[in-house]
Amino acid sequence: MKVGTAESEPGKVSTGYLSVTDLPTGQSERIPVVIVEGDESGPTVWVTGTIHGDEPTGMEAIHEFVARIRDESLRGTVVCIPVMNPSGLRTNARTSYYHGDDPNRYFGIERGDGETPPSVQQLICERLYAEISTSADVVISLHTSWVATYPYTILPRVSYGSNREKADTVELRDRIIELTDAFGLPAINQFSHEETERRSLEHTLTGAAVADGIPAFTPELGGRFVVEQDICEAAVVGLYNVLHAFGMVTEPASSSMEFELPAETDLKRLVHPHADTAGLVHYNVQEGEWVQSGQVVAAIVTPHGGTKTRVNTDHSGYVLSRYEGIAVYENDPLLDMAVPDDEPLLREYRG
Ligand SMILES: [Zn+2]
C-alpha cells in the first residue's frame, strides 16, 4: 500500500508524507502518514487526527497507538494521519490559514460547473479523501471539543434512499454502533437530522464516509488546546479495541479510565440552553453531570457580581461541555448537552 511517500511492507511501520498543495513560499504542504501493515492481510482501518489545528489529542493518541501496535502481530493494515490540518496546528487554530475556512466541512462535496473554482482547502480535502475512501473499512476521525468537556463519541446520522437500500443502511448503522461500543466512550447521536443538515455535517470526514457506505465515527477526546492524558489513554485503548472488533488483534485491551454516561434512552447532541441576556456567566453545573429539566444551570451576573438572570435548562440530560469564556451576549450558547433522542439515527433521504 502506498499513500504519498509512505509505502507499506508486511510486518513494518512505514512513514512518509502526502503532498496536498504547493505553498506560495516554495515548499509543499505535506501531510504526515504512518502505515502499520500486519504480517497477514485483512481490513484497513484509517485513523485521522487534528483536522482542527487546535485539537492536539488525536495526534498524540495516534502517536501512542502506533507505538503500542508496532510490535504486535497484526492482521490487516492501520493507516494513520496524525495531522490532517498542518497549517491550523502551526497556528494553534481550528481552521487552516489559507482562507480561514473549516477543513472539516469540505468532504464529499460534488463539484458543480459554477464560476468559482474550489478553494485550496477544498482541494486538499478532496485529495485526502481520495486516498482514504479507496481503502478504508472504517474511518475514525479524532477530535476534541470545548475546553471543559466530558469525552464522548458522536454517532453519525445515516440516510438511505436515492443511493442506498434501507437494508444496507441498517447494516451500516449497526456496524457503526458495534465499532463505537468497542471504542468505549459514551456514544451520543449527532444533532437532530435537521440540525445536522443546517450545519453541513454531511460534509465532515465522518459524514462523507458514511454517505459512501464506510463505517465512520467521531470521538470527542475532551477539551481542545491541551492533551488530557487520561482521555488520550482511553482513546489508545479504544482504537486497539476497534482493531479487536475487526479481528485484527487477538485480545482486547482494557483501560484504567472508564468514561460513562448511563441513560435509559438514546441520547443526542443539543446546544442548550442559551443566555437570554448579555453578562458574565457563573455556571452551577459541570461536564459529565446529569441535569433535570427546569434546573438552574447558570446565572448571568453583572461585572459587580449581582445576578441579572438565572438560566434554566428545558431538557433533562447530561452536560457534555461548558462553553469557553464567561462573557456572553444575547443568545450565546452556554452548554453542549446530551438529551434523549426522539428520532432514529436512520432516516430516508429527502434531499
Ligand atoms: Zn474538531
pLDDT tens, N- to C-terminus, the chain (351 residues): 999 999 999 999 999 999 999 999 999 999 999 999 999 999 999 999 999 999 999 999 999 999 999 999 999 999 999 999 999 999 999 999 999 999 999 999 988 778 889 999 999 999 999 999 999 999 999 999 999 999 999 999 988 877 788 899 999 999 999 999 999 999 999 999 999 999 999 999 999 999 999 999 999 999 999 999 999 999 999 999 999 999 999 999 998 888 999 999 999 999 999 999 999 999 999 999 999 999 999 999 999 999 999 999 999 999 999 999 999 999 999 999 999 999 999 988 765
CA 40–ligand 1 middle distance (angstroms): 33
| Gap between the Cα atoms of 241 and 182, Å rounded | 5
Q: Which domains does the chain have, with CATH numbers?
A: 2-245 (3.40.630.10), 267-340 (2.40.50.100)
CA 1–ligand 1 middle distance (angstroms): 28
CA 302–ligand 1 middle distance (angstroms): 32
| Gap between the Cα atoms of 136 and 214, Å rounded | 7
Q: Residue 350: its pLDDT value, please?
A: 61
CA 104–ligand 1 middle distance (angstroms): 8
CA 218–ligand 1 middle distance (angstroms): 9
CA 144–ligand 1 middle distance (angstroms): 5
Residue 78: helix, strand or coil by DSSP? strand
CA 285–ligand 1 middle distance (angstroms): 24
| Gap between the Cα atoms of 201 and 300, Å rounded | 31
Rounded to 5 degrees, what angle do the CA atoms 329, 332, 338 make? 160
| Gap between the Cα atoms of 254 and 325, Å rounded | 36
Q: Residue 351: its pLDDT value, please?
A: 54
CA 51–ligand 1 middle distance (angstroms): 7
CA 165–ligand 1 middle distance (angstroms): 31
CA 76–ligand 1 middle distance (angstroms): 28
CA 145–ligand 1 middle distance (angstroms): 6
Residues in contact with 185: Cβ distance below 8 Å, sequence separation at least 6, in sequence order: 151, 152, 153, 219, 234, 235, 238, 259
CA 122–ligand 1 middle distance (angstroms): 17
Q: Is 330 exposed, middle or buried (0-12, 13-18, 19+ CB in 10 A)?
A: exposed
Q: Per-residue DSSP letters for 177-194?
A: HHHHHHH-SPEEEPSPHH
Q: Residue 71: its pLDDT value, please?
A: 92
CA 95–ligand 1 middle distance (angstroms): 10
| Gap between the Cα atoms of 56 and 62, Å rounded | 10
Residues in contact with 168: Cβ distance below 8 Å, sequence separation at least 6, in sequence order: 160, 213
CA 32–ligand 1 middle distance (angstroms): 18
Question: Which residue pairs from 3-6 have beta carbons closer than 8 angstroms and sit at least 24 positions apart in sequence?
Answer: 3/33, 3/35, 3/79, 3/131, 4/30, 4/31, 4/33, 4/131, 5/33, 6/33, 6/34, 6/35
CA 154–ligand 1 middle distance (angstroms): 11
CA 250–ligand 1 middle distance (angstroms): 31
